[in-house]
Amino acid sequence: MTVAAHSLRVSRIIRADPDTLFRAWTDPRELMHWWRQEGDGWAFAGASIDLRVGGGYRLGMTGPDGKTHVAVGVYRDVQRPVRLVFTWDWEEPANRVGDTLVTVEFKDAGGNRTEVVLTHERFAEAARMGRHEQGWTELLRLLEHSVR
């Protein structure tokens, strides 16, 4: 897969089956175990999910300073348990990144392992990609620890 300009791609092989990982991305009871950033003081701050094409989501995390960061978007493709595609932006105007798109693929890697491949594309500015790449990398590590 070629990643377009102003796009990023991160992946991780996780010891879990694709269905378990798909559920971890789409069930608020599962998201609460890993949806935050690494480091002291970060916490899950709630999720609402309407898991259907055209359905929306809100995913929140609270930082060490007590400020809540909420990601919002709409599902564009839902193929359980192999693929999720959704728009991505931040609710807070100062953090908005515009009309970006996230694709998460769950590829069976054999032996009860799955490669989770996340592509985040359509950033208007390359400068906004670095923090998102770091955030997605941290989230995949936290996801891996949550399914052990």
Q: Check pLDDT > 70 for residue 3.
A: no
* Type and span of the H or E element at 130: helix 129-146
Kindly report, residue by residue over 72-90, the tens digit of the pLDDT. 999 999 999 999 999 999 9
The predicted model scores a pTM of: 0.94
What domains sit in the chain, N to C, each tagged with a CATH number? 8-146 (3.30.530.20)
Residue 118: strand pairing partners: 10, 104
Q: Check pLDDT > 80 for residue 91.
A: yes
Kindly report, residue by residue over 107-137, the tens digit of the pLDDT. 999 999 999 999 999 998 888 898 999 999 9
How does residue 8 score in pLDDT terms, banded at 50, 70 and 90?
very high
Q: State residue 98's pLDDT score.
A: 87
How does residue 4 score in pLDDT terms, banded at 50, 70 and 90?
low
CB 86 within 8 A of CB 72: no
Q: State residue 128's pLDDT score.
A: 86
Distance in angstroms (rounded) separating the CA atoms of residues 137 and 132? 8
- Give the strand pairing for 100-108 and 83-90: antiparallel
How does residue 142 score in pLDDT terms, banded at 50, 70 and 90?
very high
What is the mean predicted confidence (pLDDT) over 59-73? 97
Q: Which of 117, 89, 115, 90 is nearest to 103 (CA)?
A: 117
What tokens appear for 41 in the block?
């003081």
What rounded mean pLDDT belongs to the chain? 95
Q: Check pLDDT > 90 for residue 99.
A: no
Distance in angstroms (rounded) separating the CA atoms of residues 52 and 77? 8
Q: Which of 115, 113, 120 is nearest to 136 (CA)?
A: 120
Q: State residue 125's pLDDT score.
A: 86
